[in-house]
Structure 1
Amino acid sequence: MKYDQQIIELKNLLPTAKNILIATSAGADIDKLAAGLALFLTFETAGKQVSIASDDNILVGHTHLFGVDHVQKTLPQTEGGNLTLVLEGVAASDNTVPALEKLDWYAENSNLNLVFHVAPGQTFQPAKIIPKYQGSGFNLIFTVGAVNLNALGNIYSANIQAFSGTHIVNVDTQSANTSFGQTNVLDSQASSVSEVMVNLLSDLGFAMDADTASNLLAGIFEATKDLTDTKVTADTYMAVANCLRVGGRKPQALDTTAPTNSGLDLSALIPKTQAQTVSDFTAPSQPPMDAGDHIQPIQQAAQSSPPIQSGSPEERPMGERVISETVEPEWLTPKIFKGSSIG
């Protein structure tokens, strides 16, 4: 049990905690988001009411993580906390209420009555009355990968009261972490937050399922560059083995090679001159003929033999040269030998 000494109080609080918040640091990478989602899935399986929030947009590169659709950018509305009634337009610039003399309350049947005693000669007329809960109603808040509370971004700055008076569990690997939680699970020697989460879940007595383990594997492989980082230790390999043992799937390697076409590419065998001739050829237009017109046969062409197709350079034997591609007309007429003497 790696973190037993750090989670003694947490072990006592967790069984009765019904409403849990998980907050990841603003701009969380895959490692931190995967660790937070693994914790979310584990608590959800255990029947806890759990929410996960991050002051960041979910990117395409995050969509392979299980449970990523549950990540919210604002805190959910919860029951519990202190109720404050906001009366707008009654306070002065120095934060005093000149028209108000005192405030009383009394119960009547099942109602609670608030009595605002107005000073003589004053008018007390709120422009609007707004009920507001201060405090979160959360029993536990887990922060994942945040060096301090401000690192949570708007999740903290817009909900400071939600973090006030609530037990905070701080999970991180950064050496600069300020130990702001009531429970601090800090391990600067770990390769990733996901590696810490593998051990933390085990120490808390939770069993991982395949989806949780797949998230943690994605976080570990991302943070360690596929286990090539110098921070990888035997504990890292043990965490990977534990995830694989329960059915976790390693992330798919990104294929950066150029796509290749199936089959053979024969374009290199086609002579460029022929390809150019075919692509540039345009059939000439012929003028319309009248019914009385006749095509005059070309006598010389009728007597000539069919044109001899010259082969491509690849088809000619070595050493054979073609003098001319055009056949002279007199070559096709019969030849008569004449001589002065015979014998």
Structure 2
Amino acid sequence: MPEFDLDTKIKEMLTTARKVGIIPSVVDGVDSFAAAVGLYRMLSSLGKDASILYPGTVPAGLEGITEGVNVSTSMGNRSLVVSIDYSGTTASKVNYTTENDTLYFYLTPVNRDFDLSKVKTEITGPDFDLYITVGVQSPDDTGALKEQLSIEITKSKVLNIDNNSLNTRFGSVYLVDASMESLSLLMLNKAPKWGLVIDQRSAKALTTGISR
């Protein structure tokens, strides 16, 4: 994809995203994490609900750029929730059984004409509509997040940003620019083209990554 078209596509992804999970490499260390913080700051300033997903401690020396940053050590788990509105009934007991990998719930007692529309199901848990990996050559570089990320790659929008030619080009869209000496420099260079504003806090994070 030509560079102009790629930048336009990435800008569109960032603009339309509501909740963004940013995943820096646990292997790359300081530069990857600093670039992720810079991106987090810029997305947050646009009103995006952003989180950094990082299964480890913040790399040494970066404590000064992470104040107020939402860092989570996991991507979270999704759950299937079954709710039953039993108001107006005499139901008082709930039991369940399993058979042939099927779960059965029993709410008793209920009338024959119980309104089945009162039984609801929903999926709860992480609802990121965009994941952005930073400096992640492959899911192996995400440590404890590897298994979950491998699943999300096939089901969710994933923007893969890296400056290493060994990147495996996973994700919905990937930008791999090996000409950039650091990920933070790559982020600094591309941010304006993606409709992002580099403010004082994001600049501090990115320059910290560049200088390491």
TM-score higher than 0.5 here?
Answer: yes
Specify the alignment match of 2:115 in structure 1: 108
Return the offset for 1:147.
Answer: 0.3
Aligned mate of 2:80, from 80, 83, 86: 83
Aligned residue pair count: 190
**Match in the other structure for 2:179:** 189
| Partner secondary structure for residue 61 of structure 1 | coil
Q: Secondary structure at the match of 1:142?
A: strand
Deviation (angstroms), 1:18: 0.9
Would the alpha carbon gap of residues 59 and 175 (structure 1) be closer, same or farther in structure 2, given more than 3 Å must change? closer
Return the offset for 1:184: 0.8
Q: Which has the higher contact order (CA 8 A, sep 6+)?
A: 2
Preserved CA contact (<8 Å) 1:22 1:141: yes
Q: Which amino acid aligns with 2:146?
A: Y
Per the alignment, residue 213 of structure 1 pairs with 203
The equivalent of 1:19 in structure 2 is 19
List structure 1 runs of 4+ shifted beyond 3 angstroms: 66-69, 81-85, 96-100, 107-110, 131-134, 158-164
The one of 126, 129, 145 equivalent to 1:139 is 129
Q: Does the CA-based 8 Å contact 2:8-2:194 persist in structure 1?
A: no
The residue number in structure 2 matching 1:271 is none
CA drift of 1:68 comes to 7.1
Partner of 2:155: 165
Return the TM-score normalized by structure 2: 0.75
Q: Give, in angstroms, the shift of residue 156 of structure 1.
A: 3.2
Can you give the 5+ residue segments of structure 1 that lack an aligned partner in the other structure? Answer: 101-106, 115-130, 223-343
Q: Is the 8 A contact 1:51 1:76 kept in 2?
A: no
Larger Rg: 1
Match of 2:196, as an amino acid? F
Residue type of the alignment partner of 1:108? D
CA–CA separation in structure 2 for the residues paired with 1:99 and 1:50: 35
Structure with more of its chain in strand, by fraction? 2
| Distance of 1:4 and 1:98 partners within structure 2 | 51
Q: 1:150 maps to which residue?
A: 140
| Number of the residue aligned with 1:288 | none
Once the two structures are TM-superposed, the CA of residue 132 in structure 1 deviates from its matched residue by 6.2
Between structures 1 and 2, the one with greater helix share? 2
How has the CA–CA distance of structure 1 residues 71 and 89 changed in structure 2, closer, same or farther, with 3 Å as cutoff? Answer: same
Aligned to 2:92: none
How far 1:28 moved relative to its partner? 4.0
Q: Is 1:3–1:200's contact at 8 Å kept on the other side of the alignment?
A: no
In the aligned structure 2, how far is the partner of 1:212 from the partner of 1:51? 15
- Map 1:53-92 onto structure 2 (within 5 A): 53-67=53-67, 69-75=69-75, 83=80, 90=98
SS in structure 2 of the partner of residue 153 of structure 1: helix
Residues 17, 60 of structure 1: alpha-carbon distance in 2 compared, 3 angstrom cutoff:
same
Q: TM-score, normalised by structure 1?
A: 0.48
Relative to 1, partners in 2 of residues 1:113 and 1:206: Cα closer, same or farther, differing over 3 Å?
closer
Contact 1:66 1:212 in 2 (8 A): no
Cα–Cα, structure 1 residues 97 and 152, in superposed 2: closer, same or farther, change >3 Å?
closer
1:1-343 residue pairs with structure 2 within 5 A? Answer: 3-67=3-67, 69-75=69-75, 83=80, 90=98, 96-97=100-101, 108=115, 110-112=117-119, 133=124, 136-158=126-148, 160-222=150-212
Q: Report the secondary structure of 1:90's partner residue.
A: strand
| Identity score, percent | 22
For residues 113 and 16 of structure 1, do their structure 2 counterparts lie closer, same or farther at Cα, with a shift above 3 Å needed? closer
* Alpha-carbon offset, residue 47 of structure 1: 0.5
Distance 1:112 1:68 in 2: 40
The whole-number CA distance in structure 1 between the counterparts of 2:11 and 2:102 is: 51
